Amino acid sequence: MLYPIELQYSKSHEWVKVEDGVTVVGISDFAQNALGDVVFVNLPGEGDSVTAGDAFGDVESVKAVSDLVSPVSGTVCAVNEDLLDAPEKLNSDPYGAWIIKVENVDGSEELLDAAAYEAFCTEEG
């Protein structure tokens, strides 16, 4: 499993990084591995509000449908529409295939650094 140290992670297996004041959200390598082959992604729209701890969409794999849980509260300013045509990018490049970008962030779940997230995944796995 990969746990890039420059990212933060939620216990629902989303990763977070801040770029120029915008929070970028994706799913971790652990999440995509647990899901198996991703075949569909249901995304919010630009301008939608997201709330930390609440679902903002879902990912469908050959195994199951899983909620995408927002690690932050704010407004969706960008959606990775490439995933609509190529959801498998979440499997092949989980840290390159971001899902949403959020601005006006005004709260977040308790986020873990890479070492704490790796320990969490080891316990859970």
CA distances from 103 to 5, 48, 96, 106 (A): 22, 11, 19, 9
Tell me the whole-structure pTM to 2 decimals. Answer: 0.95
Question: Can you read off the two tokens belonging to residue 122?
Answer: 């080891």
Tens digits of residue pLDDT in 66-98: 999 999 999 999 999 999 999 999 999 999 999
Higher pLDDT: 64 or 115? It is: 115
Q: How confident is the model at residue 46 (pLDDT cuts 50, 70, 90)?
A: very high
What's residue 1's pLDDT?
Answer: 84
CA 41 to CA 57: how far, in whole Å? 8
CA distances from 66 to 95, 96, 103 (A): 18, 20, 24
CA 96 to CA 39: how far, in whole Å? 17
What's residue 124's pLDDT?
Answer: 81
Tens digits of residue pLDDT in 47-69: 999 999 999 999 999 989 999 99
Tens digits of residue pLDDT in 94-114: 999 999 999 999 999 999 999
